[in-house]
Amino acid sequence: MSTKWLKSLVLSGALVTTGLFASATTTHAAIPDGVKVQINDHLVDFPDAMPYLYQGSLMTPLRAVADDLGYKVEHQMINNDSQVRVKVTGNGHVLELGSGKVEAKVDNRSVTLRTPPVIKNGRVYVHIRSIGDHFGHIVQWDANNEIGILGADGKYHAPAWYKPAVPDNDTASSVKKAIVSTAKQYIGVPYQWGGTSPSGFDCSGFVTYIFNKQDITLPRTSSGMYSSAGTSVSNPEQGDLVFFASGGKVFHVGIYIGGNQFISATSDGVKIDSLGNSYWKNVYVGAKKVM
């Protein structure tokens, strides 16, 4: 393969090759769920690969943050395709870095990164300060809400999201039951793309409508819920969110109602389905607890 710059194909999954990055980086262990990245006053939407904390460093998928900032990202395979070099252009600067290396260049000037970029599941991750420090952005860390904030506009910002107060078990249980009971009242409501009312729902519109009735605010899209709402759980309970994806992108969300079943707005309208259904079980990617 010639060493020419490759663009978005790389991070969409073309780098997922057995052993491709074995010599490039040390794989980071699984990290606590729920870390977020904010640019100015809004949270970054991560459709699949999520940011995480590693030894006190906030590592973030480069592609999602760069896209949000409007920056250009290019890639080059080197060393017989065993490593990747990345070039990011934006805000009047050019940052060049390589997987597993702290040596980098900014505007052709040599710099040392705080943490080397790593590869996880075919995505390039960088320390958030690799973006902030070298593109002239203010970097904040809100420990209470676990949000890394990039002030791309040169200003300091309050968190765009706050961790909800944890209800006691009795309160949480009653709210979950109310969510399931309310959701069932809308069985049969037709599907409507972009719909957020009983005249017609899409999947995320249905979920946000039901949760809003319990004064719980969720992101508007299924991918937004998956990336920034709640905490991942391996065994869903009543009222938890269940997610489905294809090609690495979350496309559907529903509400778990118990008994391995969930309710959601599908193309056939609001209905109850089984997670064991031959279709749904093959696209199910996990559940999240939001209360």
Q: Is the pLDDT of residue 17 over 60?
A: no
% residues pLDDT > 70 (the chain): 86
Q: How confident is the model at residue 3 (pLDDT cuts 50, 70, 90)?
A: very low
What are the tens digits of pLDDT across the range 144-192?
888 999 999 999 999 888 877 666 666 678 888 899 999 999 999 999 9
Does residue 25 come out as left (phi exceeding 0), alpha (psi in the -120 to 50 range) or beta?
beta
Confidence (pLDDT) at 81: 67
CA dist 272 to 173, 209, 250, 256, 269, Å? 21, 17, 19, 9, 10
Written as six digits, the tokens of 264 are 């959601």
Q: Count of CB atoms within 10 A of residue 164's CB? A: 12
Confidence (pLDDT) at 131: 96
| Domains of the chain in sequence order | 10-151 (3.30.457.10), 169-289 (3.90.1720.10)
Overall average pLDDT of the 102-107 stretch = 96
Q: Is the pLDDT of residue 95 over 70?
A: yes
On the CB side of 234, CA atoms within 13 Å amount to 0
Confidence (pLDDT) at 84: 84
What are the tens digits of pLDDT across the range 58-91?
999 999 999 999 999 998 877 776 678 999 999 9
- Choose between 260 and 75: higher pLDDT: 260
Q: Rounded to whole angstroms, how far apart are CA atoms 250 and 221?
A: 9
- Choose between 12 and 223: higher pLDDT: 223
